[in-house]
Amino acid sequence: MKHEVEIQLKIRKEFKDWSGYDIQNFQDDLEVKCKSTVSEKWFYNHFKNENEKLPRVDVLNLLSFYCGYKNWDDFKFQNETKTPSIKGSRSIWLLTVLILVMGASTAFWMSSGTKNRIIICHDAYTHEPILAKNVQLEWGGVNAKISNTTSVIWSIKVNEKDTLFVDGAYYKAKKVVLNPDLMGDTLIIELLPDDYALMLNYFSRATSSNWEKRSKQLREAIHDDAKLFQVHEDLNGIEMLNKQEFIDRLILPVNSLKNLEILHIVYKDNQIYRLRFVQKIK
């Protein structure tokens, strides 16, 4: 499976040598082709480091589809038929059967405890529902988004003891441990707004003559070693800005960063450390 993923992404180096940029490209490619992806933590656990534990069957299905197969069963079947028979290799045959039996058992065990849950995210201040497209859920190694612009609910199948990681470009990340004894089929999760992200969004849309004040606020909000990436969708490329370049573009009278939309944000020492954004042209 790892070899097939390498072929799809065309990165000619071993997984242990992948950079954070390589991982991000892989996640983005998964998102484009499969409408779902895996987390960076999952990548480190299963690809970048050696891990004997088989990933969840839904992740195996996702990666199999990414590699051109219908699902995990189709991947196993097609690769079994490609494996040449070796005369006298009874031990290899037994090992293959054992692996398949263990994989089937794992898939059954993982699916037997799953249940459909309705997830609704609320703004912690306004208590209004948040559009599902504005948040991202991760559970069991699966990282998923909803493209529907009007939906406010998630309907997902999760294990009763799964941990949900909820995040959004304009909301602070939150971890929720599912407890079937304390919850019904619907779970409402309150998310705190991300003040710095909202400030950047506002600055890119509002006009002001007090450039010095805004510059001071941005210098306090952004880490000195920050790297800020602007995605250029029309050119299928990305540009990296340092702290001062970003501030200048955002607040100077000739503003080149109108209608900024944040895609991903990471903090260090309570300051913006990594930012990935796109400029929406109206």
* Least confident residue range of 14-18, 188-192, 234-238: 14-18
CATH number where 146 lies: 2.60.40
Verify that 127 and 201 share a domain, yes or no. no
Question: Do 88 and 28 share a structural domain?
Answer: yes
| Spatial strand order in the sheet of 36-38 | 36-38, 142-144, 136-139, 163-168, 171-177
pLDDT tens for 141-159 read 777 777 767 778 777 777 7
Examine the pLDDT at 69 and tell me if it is beyond 70.
Answer: yes
79 and 168, same structural domain? Answer: no
Q: Compute the mean pLDDT over every residue in the chain, rounded to the nearest whole number.
A: 77
Q: Is the pLDDT of residue 112 over 60?
A: no
114, 142 in Cβ contact below 8 A?
no
- Residue 69 shares a structural domain with residue 129: no
Q: Residue 90 belongs to what domain range?
A: 2-112
Looking at mean pLDDT, say which of 59-63, 79-83, 224-228 comes out highest: 224-228
Calculate mean pLDDT across residues 168-194.
81
pTM: 0.54
In this structure, the answer to whether residues 166 and 224 fall within a common structural domain is: no
Count structural domains, the chain. Answer: 3
Q: Shortest CA distance to 279 belongs to which of 204, 217, 228, 215? A: 204
Based on the fold, state whether residues 166 and 206 are members of the same structural domain. Answer: no
Is the confidence at residue 173, as pLDDT, over 50?
yes
Between 21 and 89, name the one with better pLDDT: 21
